[in-house]
Structure 1
Amino acid sequence: MSGLRLAILGLALLAPAVSAVAQPATQAAAPDAAAKRGAEVVAERSCGACHGEQGVSAMPGIPSLAGQQREFIALQLVLFREGLRDIPAMQGPVEGLTDEQLEELGAYFASLPHAPPPDRAARDQAAFEAGAALSEQLRCGVCHLPALVGQNQVPHIAGQREDYLAGTLKAYRDGTRHGTDTQMNGVVQGLSDAQIDQIAHYVSQR
């Protein structure tokens, strides 16, 4: 099995394995220490220049990371580092980082308080209700949980930037983005741009 496959598998199994055997004090101390080390990497790699100094993005098309699932962030960073997600802007920031450092970055961003972007649009009630109905129909809350805060490698999407959500969902639909499986591609297959925009508006307003 390749090193990359082991890294991804390890990210999938690390959290439940640790939670099953660690004592509460150890569970509390380890994330705190990892988050502090992650903060040092954030400062070194200037992550806040795009994702916001407190992980809340004010830049169109750039996701907020504050309050994100740590396992999700670590996995995406592995994919960036190994060239399996082709985002040129992310190649430099992750170059040379170890698996441990990527996990520490996940711990850091997970430790930050979630907040909506400062330029979030006012709620359009009609679009919000249409997006809510579509989200229910597509069963988004099964994987992302009812509050859309995610779990493990499933991302926290509630309150995310609306433009980023819409662009990501359209990329899944159009086959220009793939996750570690094709589930999201199938979920949004056949949706119109208008429907995706409604879902993005609903999720961003949560």
Structure 2
Amino acid sequence: MRVLFLGLALLAPALPAAAQGSAAERGEKLAAERSCGACHGERGVSATPSIPSLAGQQQEFIALQLVLFREGLRDIPAMKEPSDGLTDEGVEDLGAYFASLPHAPPPDRARRNVPAYNNGAALANRLRCGVCHLPNLAGQNQVPHIAGQREEYLSGTLKAYRDSTRHGTDTQMNAVVQGLTDAQIDQIAHYISQR
């Protein structure tokens, strides 16, 4: 009997977390509470220009970005309130939730422009985008899933890296796009968004 009580006492701390559901389930509730869907789409697929889709995104990437927003290390005014006061568990739960959603292109994705697509593919190959983002551009760990992302978001982000108005956790992206023209960046963005 004494062993039974000891066993139950050891399990007690784990019961509340298990009773709350999985990290993705907790993240779904937190995303609803924080109104993430208002900008990023109800199921993580953005229908708003220049707002990234989060469905199918790398869990670690989402968590990293939320920490950067929460700590004021990445200044996106629209993300200040949603990330304010997030616990580390909340950050992980939101990452798990968005990673669990099926990736899909935005509903208003432009038709493929074959010359722009082909030029963008050649540039992405030359810049070796597939080394970090993987050949299918689905990302890994803290490297984001960029295939099928909103085109104008990709273009704006790459231009911000080129112009050094945005920095990642290192300066690698800034160096990769240094010297590219707006037209070249737009072609890369078109190619990636069509994947």
Q: How high is the TM-score relative to the length of structure 2?
A: 0.89
Say which of 105, 116, 122 aligns to 1:133.
Answer: 122
Counterpart in the other structure of 1:89: 78
**Alpha-carbon distance, 1:69 to partner:** 0.1
Counterpart in the other structure of 2:109: 120
Q: Give the number of equivalent residue pairs.
A: 176
**Alpha-carbon distance, 1:68 to partner:** 0.1
1:120 aligns to what SS in structure 2? coil
Counterpart in the other structure of 2:173: 184
Quote the Cα distance in structure 2 between the aligned partners of 1:99 and 1:190: 38
1:113-168 CA distance string (max 9 Å, x none): 00000000000000000000000000000000000000000000000000000000
Counterpart in the other structure of 1:76: 65
Structure 1 alignment gaps of length 5 or more: 1-28
Aligned-residue CA RMSD (Å): 0.9
**Alpha-carbon distance, 1:105 to partner:** 0.2
Q: Match for 1:161: what amino acid?
A: R
1:156-205 CA distance string (max 9 Å, x none): 00000000000000000000000000000000000000000000000000
Counterpart in the other structure of 2:189: 200
**Alpha-carbon distance, 1:79 to partner:** 0.1
Counterpart in the other structure of 1:35: 24
Quote the Cα distance in structure 1 between the aligned partners of 2:22 and 2:174: 36
Say which of 143, 161, 170 aligns to 2:132.
Answer: 143
Asked which structure has the greater CA Rg, the reply is: 2
Q: Match for 1:146: what amino acid?
A: P
Structure 2 alignment gaps of length 5 or more: 1-17
Give me the identity figure in percent.
80
**Alpha-carbon distance, 1:46 to partner:** 0.4
**Alpha-carbon distance, 1:91 to partner:** 0.2
Q: How high is the TM-score relative to the length of structure 1?
A: 0.85
